Amino acid sequence: MVSTDTDDGTVLLNGRTGRYWQLNATGAHVLRGLLDGHDPDDIAAGVATRHRIDRSRAERDVTTVIDQLRTAGLVIA
């Protein structure tokens, strides 16, 4: 898997399949947090602070991103 940061987030490329995914800034933040070993609750706290949203909304958003990353086979967390 190769990743490149962009102005709006991150682009991931699976070299074996040729498939790529584009993550917005929040998705990229979630992925980086997972790769750095942070748990979803910590990531959600960061998202809530960063975007000045309520914690429950941030938790739902982070869960959605993680589910999408799992479905795409990009993470196994």
- In eight-state DSSP terms, residue 46 is H
CATH number of domain containing 68: 1.10.10.1150
Please enumerate in sequence order all residues whose Cβ is within 8 A of that of 7, keeping only pairs 6 or more positions apart, or say none. Answer: none
Range of the domain at 33: 2-72
| 77 lies in some domain | no
Residue 38 lies in a domain: yes
Q: Is residue 34 part of a domain?
A: yes
Rounded Cα distance between 30 and 47, Å, is 8
Helices (H), 1-77: 25-35, 40-51, 55-71
Answer yes or no: is 60 within a domain: yes
Q: What is the pLDDT of residue 77?
A: 58
Q: Is residue 63 part of a domain?
A: yes
pLDDT tens by residue, 35-52: 899 999 999 999 999 999
What is the number of domains present in the chain? 1
Name the band, by pLDDT with cuts 50, 70 and 90, for residue 22: very high
33 domain residue, yes or no = yes
